[in-house]
Amino acid sequence: MLAPPPLRNDCFALPAGVSWTPVDDALAMLRDRLSVVTGVEQVALGAALGRVLAADVTAARSNPPLANSAVDGYGFAGAIPKGAHVMPVATGRAAAGGAFEGIVPAGMAVRVLTGAALPEGVETVILQEDVTVGDNEIAFYGPLKAGANTREAGEDVVAGDLALPKGRVLTAADLALLSAVGVAQVAVHQRLRVAVLSTGDELVEPGQAVSPGSVFDANRPMLLAILGQFGFVPVDMGRVPDDRAALRLRLDQAAEQADVILTSGGASAGDEDHVSALLQEAGAMQEWRIAVKPGRPLALGLWGGKPVFGLPGNPVAAMVCTLVFARPAMGVLAGMAWQEPQGFEIPAAFEKRKKPGRREYLRARIRNGRAEVFASEGSGRISGLSWAEGLVELGDEERDIQPGDMVRYIPYAGFGV
């Protein structure tokens, strides 16, 4: 089992003089500075769904392996000119898995079924619906081009060619392709293990007794669920009070159990922001003040050699930062190719005047072919995350959006959830 080298302590260091970081710059730094942290293992194809290829896969066999018929019908040599034709039929037939014995003489046809390897002497097939069958002969009309209704050997994939590239997350369709070209097992990265912990004295579990100043922990169940949808292994590290010693112990435990640590809360520079303080003590802390709404502060660092993403405590900002920044970054750590979210342009069903200087993500959904946005942009309105089915992304520039103007809509599925 192969293990990659650890990340360097300065992988999150910002260039000198950088303060506010544009979204595109932040994403570019994450893409360029991170590398895979998971080991490699061999798995059978049946256990490979959702796994990340650790090496290119080449075809062991061509698909199709032999030229074959695409239809049920009759096969013969060459092209057929326009007009009526009668052709004698050879004895026997070609079926998938059952080769025709012998050679089909020129000027004669033979019965062939879908998927059958073309017998020697056959290069063209006519559909059975287009012929009249008599005693050992068929009648039909031309014209018919040479090679009609057939598949060439290797027209899909040729043996020895690249079937799938490393970094790809295997889908059900990929498994069909690999099976067809004779691949029985693949080298994949071990699943990325991501520890999730929430910080704050005010947090309690749903169902527990609450005081006037307490709030239920909404971030942890959300993040654990999202990680599962990403195909990672979520590791629940629970809640940690605003106690530096307790947090240090929990981070130590998380580093032992996971490849990545995801925290929410305590990522700014206040008195009770212990995540940032501990990362600073460890000498591997960077606070990226990103020009984004919602979000802005994103604490990044290493703890016990494991990358830490310190998310904002606000659930809306925590989810947006997870989708926009942590998702592609963790994908690289898991061995995936860098993934841009898949979105598309769609008319707006809202109006908004946006100031320049930062990127904004609005909770949105599509109705009647237009993008609606949630009634409030308040970052404490968790119901908007549930109401929405994706995000409208507004660029860094100033915009005065009116109904009907085109905006970029990214469905949640575009982020992999």
Spatial neighbors of 338 by CB under 8 A, at least 6 apart, are 31, 328, 331, 332
pLDDT band at 271 (very low <50, low <70, confident <90, very high): very low
Q: Look at residue 9 and tell me whether its pLDDT is greater than 80.
A: no
- Give one word for 137, left, alpha or beta, with left for phi > 0 and alpha for psi -120 to 50: beta
Distance CA 378, CA 104 (A): 76
Taking the CB of residue 341, how many other CB atoms lie within 10 A of it?
A: 19
pLDDT at 302: 87
Average pLDDT estimate for 25-42: 93
Measured distance CA(389)–CA(231) in Å, rounded:
20
Q: How far apart are CA 232 and CA 43, in angstroms?
A: 17
Comparing 81 with 300, the larger pLDDT belongs to: 81
Which backbone phi and psi does 289 adopt, to 5 degrees? -90, 95
| pLDDT over 70 percentage in the chain | 95
- Average of per-residue pLDDT values in the chain: 91
Residues recorded for the chain: 417
State the average pLDDT over residues 170-184.
97
Q: Which of 109-123, 285-299, 346-360 is least confident?
A: 285-299
Domains and CATH numbers, the chain: 20-38+191-333 (3.40.980.10), 42-61+161-189 (3.90.105.10), 68-151 (2.170.190.11), 344-415 (2.40.340.10)
Question: What is the model's pLDDT at position 204?
Answer: 87
Residue 261: beta bridge partners?
195, 308
> pLDDT digit string (tens) for 216-268?
899 999 999 999 999 999 999 999 988 888 999 999 999 999 999 999 875 55
- Dihedral angle of Cα 311, 313, 318, 322, to the nearest 10 degrees: 20
For the entire predicted model, the pTM comes to: 0.86
pLDDT at 1: 66
pLDDT in tens, 132-155: 999 999 999 999 999 999 999 999
Angstrom distance (rounded) from CA 215 to CA 203:
5
| Residue 310 DSSP SS3 | strand
